[in-house]
Structure 1
Amino acid sequence: MTWDPQDVPGQYGRTAVITGGNAGIGYHVAEQLARAGAHVVLAGRSTARTRTALDALRRAVPGASATDVRLDLADLDSVRRAAADLTAAGPVDILVNNAGVTASGTRAETAQGFELMFGTNHLGHFALTLLLAPALGPDAHVVSLGSLTHTRARLDFGDLQSRTHYRSMAVYGRSKLAVLLFAAELDRRLRASGSTVRSVAAHPGWAVQGLTPARPPLWEPGPLTAVRSAPLALLAQGKDRGAWPVVRAATDPVAIGGQYFGPIGLGALKGTPSLAAMAESARDPEAAARLWTASEELTGVHWAG
């Protein structure tokens, strides 16, 4: 099916929760869904930042229906509180598991002592999704945000917390491989339970802030930003276009659980969103089931489907 990112199917009457909706790709996912008529909930660690994003969103989409909720994915207590607030507010029709932390040269940990990237990018979203499962609408889409970095990653089940041989980019890639394994296993479990909820995934290609249009007061590029970013335009795109595959995964009425969307252009780095291919390591059902069991044990959150 061809897809026009400028003509997203109407989302009126649907509620979309976007983690990390206060900046970058998450913000633009929220903006595009709001423009299509959805009520959007920006979930982020900082209330000040989500309120700034709400200001920008309402300027970009006059009349947008939007609110926020505090969510720190690096703290499972915060995840539980946010899930309770979201469940009390009513059904969730779109859950975009977008937020995450990127590679850092120094190993850090979450509030519960998990390696920060694995604990935030995967375990935080794992717990949030399972806690929100009872609140998902019958036609809900759960969208997990992958990355091209997963193709070079391998999980070490003997060292999921990367306590030995820590290399930041490798750990980041492993966290994104875990995200995609979770998305695939969630799809299998939803189907086995007879659920009509769809678990899908997407990646943004190479999306850079410097190629992203201004969204004051959230993002106001300086006078030299366009000049400095121009050389990247051949291979990269702005965060607004990086949001396109995510929005397609969230709204495409013929999307099938287990599908993976990404840019169709050169090197899968930019362009119109289409079906993408996961690495074989992300399609391993045994690894996915093993990761699921480990994630339940680590978070204390269990699947009730």
Structure 2
Amino acid sequence: MRSYLDFEKPVAELEAKVEELKALGEKGDAVSITDDIARLEAKAAGALKDLYAALTPWQKTLVARHPQRPHFLDYCGGLITEFTPLAGDRKFAEDEAVVGGFGRFRGQPVCVIGQEKGSTTETRIRHNFGMARPEGYRKAVRLMELADRFGLPVIAFVDTAGAYPGIEAEERGQAEAIARSTEMQLSLGVPNVSVVIGEGGSGGAIAIATANKVLMLEHAIYSVISPEGAASILWRDPSRAQDAATNMKITAQDLLRLGVIDGIIAEPTGGAHRSPEAAIQAAGEAIESALTELGNMGPSELRDHRAAKFLAIGRQL
């Protein structure tokens, strides 16, 4: 069953009427209503298109967090064949918020890493809502080291509200683990591409998003802190999250203009949650294009390219 966001209520009402008419038609309780259904469907599609063409930053935040939005395992299942996951950081434990392993992307052997939020109550708890502990980032480092050793490109899918903020995570060196993962990405001698598919929150995101090419889905967000967290700090009022979202420049469109990301992947009308397969395939096309562009670079060129990209952020302003 489709879940609607608050600002989608006008579309929800139209689509509900369409379903009612279809149900009547199936029961044979009404005269031919085909034309009425087609008219309402066209009206609903037009309303949805207009609505999503003018989303505010806060509305984009809600879309990026939509519970039915495809997550890492959906992208992995749709784009990666022969996927073999690896577990554990060889230091402390397995962290299921970060999932990673090796497989083939359109025939090419690759290393794949992503944050998985989960889609049911059980899986959300198991994956800790995509908020990794230090061992998750240390597992990512372990995978990237293997990829570098065997000359395999690294593809990362970013979708987290942020690294897990619990006391035990701090005790085990959360900041150091994030820094090591970021450092590992900067030193890779193989191409790496990161895609922000939902939320890109704080150091939890940058830990696997320090790539030669950083792409974002059209309605994803990427920020140093959540809008609610920023509102709590700036105004001591979490209810001003909408103001924070507007001022923080967290949308893909803002970040492309600022040079923080390298490209935007168009989503189906109504967001990735309305047509997950189309969103996944669009991401696949963008990743393939990025890897092709980076394919002729040697290890030194790739490191220089990555370093220059991140050093340039903010200098043109």
TM above 0.5: no
TM-score, normalised by the number of residues in structure 1: 0.37
Q: TM-score, normalising length from structure 2?
A: 0.36
Name whichever structure is richer in helix by fraction.
Answer: 2
The one of the two structures with greater contact order (alpha-carbon pairs below 8 A, sep at least 6) is: 1
